[in-house]
């Protein structure tokens, strides 16, 4: 903990709180960042980070469907789009689907931090798989910010989380 000798217990504010936050700790390889209003998002320091695409996707979807009571975010990554949708639609129930276990773990941590456990369900798996989404499920709003670059069309990251978020490793946007 960084401190100031003039103020006992004072810690320099920043993206990483000095200790427990809502019963959660920020791991050494994580940051806790503001996304919307009072909502915060856990991210890997060197992994995939939220982007303008996520913010615009959530804003656009909720602007066109401001009365949505149910929302689905496909390929949800660390949960940025879903968290912003939850913030903009405080009465909505959300389901997010993500294939990467590391991203799912961060999204679950963020959902708990933001007090969303009762209306925010995070499912791990490929959204094309029949056991991830039931055929009888209906949603008022569906969002997605999938990777849309074919492999080999850009610089590939060595970080597996970044790589899967940028390149179509599990299929194409057409899928």
Q: Give 38's contacts (C-beta < 8 A, 6+ positions apart).
A: none
CB 100 within 8 A of CB 146: no
Q: How far apart are CA 62 and CA 101, in angstroms?
A: 27
Q: What is the pLDDT of residue 38?
A: 83
Q: Is residue 111 part of a domain?
A: yes
Domain-embedded: residue 123: yes
Its pTM stands at: 0.78
Decide if 21 is inside a domain: no
State the pLDDT confidence band at 119, using cuts at 50, 70 and 90.
very high
Q: Is 104 helix (H, G, I), strand (E, B) or coil?
A: helix
Confirm whether 86 is domain-assigned: yes
Query: What single-letter DSSP state applies at residue 156?
Result: P
Q: Is the residue at 65 inside a domain?
A: yes
Tell whether 118 is covered by a domain: yes
* 4 is a domain residue: no
- The CATH number linked to 133 is 3.40.50.150
* The pLDDT of residue 70 is above 90: yes
- Residue 38 placed within a domain: no
Output the furthest CA–CA distance in the chain (Å, rounded). Answer: 61
Indicate if the alpha-carbon torsion angle 8, 14, 20, 22 is positive or negative: positive
Q: How many domains does the chain have?
A: 1
Q: Which domain holds residue 64?
A: 50-166
Question: Mean of the per-residue pLDDT values for the chain?
Answer: 81
Read off the tokens for 130.
Answer: 């029949």
């Amino acid at each position: 903990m960084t401190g100031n000798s003039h103020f006992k217990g004072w810690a320099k504010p920043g993206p990483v709180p000095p200790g427990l936050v809502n019963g959660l700790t920020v791991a050494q390889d994580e940051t806790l960042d503001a996304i919307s209003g009072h909502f915060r998002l856990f991210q890997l320091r060197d992994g995939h980070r939220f982007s303008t695409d996520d913010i615009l996707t959530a804003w656009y979807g909720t602007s066109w469907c401001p009365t949505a009571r149910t929302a689905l975010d496909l390929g949800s990554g660390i949960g940025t789009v879903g968290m912003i949708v939850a913030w903009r639609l405080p009465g909505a129930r959300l389901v997010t689907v993500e294939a990467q276990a590391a991203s799912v773990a961060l999204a679950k941590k963020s959902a708990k931090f933001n007090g969303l456990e009762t209306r925010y369900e995070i499912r791990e798996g490929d959204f094309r798989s029949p056991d991830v989404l039931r055929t009888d499920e209906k949603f008022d709003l569906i969002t997605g910010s999938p990777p849309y670059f074919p492999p080999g069309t850009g610089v590939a990251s060595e970080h597996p989380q970044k790589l899967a978020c940028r390149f179509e490793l599990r299929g194409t946007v057409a899928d």
